Structure 1
Amino acid sequence: MKNMIPVAMSNRHIHLSQEDLDILFGEGYQLTKMKDLSQPGQYACEEKVDIVGPKGTLKGVRILGPVRTHTQIEISVSDGFVLGVKAPTRDSGNIEDTPGAKIIGPKGEVEIEKGIIVAARHIHMHAEEAKQFEVKDKDIVNVKINGPRGLIFNNVLVRVSPSYALEMHVDVEEGNAAAIKNGQMVELIK
């Protein structure tokens, strides 16, 4: 069927810089791959950390690899209530004017001034797929979810790169609202 895309739900997680990883786990620490993720080169790690906000703590937040230039924490809206922070909905990597938190690892703690976001729902696709779908990088589209709790997600960001594999990402709260199953096919509509 035309314009169909697999969808996956993303739970809370953290991307660490090497500098913060060294403080949290020890100098020169290397992340331990637990399993590959759908996007090439991305993986879930064995390591977890605790995130402490003004009101509460999220324990056992999974680290995703590889390390990045800047530490970023991706949470759900409900997680923001637990932490006591108002995280804006943002594209990954856009962390200016976002709240920070304390991160606790087995060897140390880091206080980040910024970096907590609610990830904008988005679609990863390769340039060839973007041609097929007649979209380009940073386009905003709608996506239709079928089923007993079907709905239309508005404001879905398209991200195009030669290193991406076709997949839409929503957070767990959004996915549960529509009773989505990982791998379910959803329809891009314009």
Structure 2
Amino acid sequence: MSNMKVPVGLSNRHIHLSKEHIDILFGEGYELTKMKDLSQPGQYAANEKVDIIGPKGTLKGVRVLGPARKETQVEISFTDGFVLGVNPPVRDSGDLEGSPGAVIKGPKGEVTIDKGIIAAARHIHMHTSDAERMGLVDKQTVCVKVDGKRGLIFDNVLVRVHPTYALEMHVDIDEGNAAGLKNGDIVEIL
């Protein structure tokens, strides 16, 4: 196998909103405004933020990511789950059945979702050319080695292959902190 090195992106708490929920939270016909592009083509961090209100507490100023999605999804760490008073299941993006809900509060209104809070499963986005070069396929799971003083091996890392993806491994803040990782660090697929 050739070079199996992958850059890391730490995923802090964020929310993907449906168009219907954007209209309720920010006003009818509202369009999200781009703060900065994210590593995955077409994805961006918006200027907009919302509050997520759980049974025990609130996460204030949670960044909205764009563009709008088919279904509203909140991605948090386990630590955030303690603050909210929910137990987020570890899931792939879009797999929301049976996940907890919350109240989402924006400047113009609020929405109650009955599902949609997850701790995103660690995964690697890769372009089809990266997958071919590394001998990997979509939906394969791999182990990833992190070097350094807090080095470790991440097991059960999902490979997601698509012609529009840019090569990057995504872990949440809790996982990144446990391994001493920061954005742009390089890890190795075993």
Q: TM-score range by the shorter chain?
A: over 0.9
* Aligned 1:21-170 pairs, distance under 5 A: 21-170=22-171
Give aligned pairs, total: 189
Listed as ranges, the gaps of 5+ residues in structure 2 are: none
Q: Deviations over 1:17-48 (max 9, x none)?
A: 00000000000000010000000000001100
Cross-structure match for 2:177: 176
Q: Secondary structure at the match of 1:174?
A: helix
Identity %: 69
Distance in 2 separating the partners of 1:162 and 1:3:
18
- Alpha-carbon distance, 1:133 to partner: 1.2
- Alpha-carbon distance, 1:181 to partner: 1.9
Cross-structure match for 1:15: 16
- Alpha-carbon distance, 1:69 to partner: 0.3
Q: What letter corresponds to residue 18 of structure 2 in structure 1?
A: S
- Alpha-carbon distance, 1:7 to partner: 0.6
Cross-structure match for 2:188: 187
Q: TM-score, normalised by structure 1?
A: 0.98
Distance in 2 separating the partners of 1:120 and 1:107:
32
Q: What letter corresponds to residue 106 of structure 1 in structure 2?
A: P
Q: TM-score, normalised by structure 2?
A: 0.98
Using the TM superposition, name which of 175-184 and 37-46 deviates more.
175-184
- Alpha-carbon distance, 1:132 to partner: 1.1
Distance in 2 separating the partners of 1:8 and 1:151:
16
Q: Secondary structure at the match of 2:64?
A: strand
- Alpha-carbon distance, 1:134 to partner: 1.1
Listed as ranges, the gaps of 5+ residues in structure 1 are: none
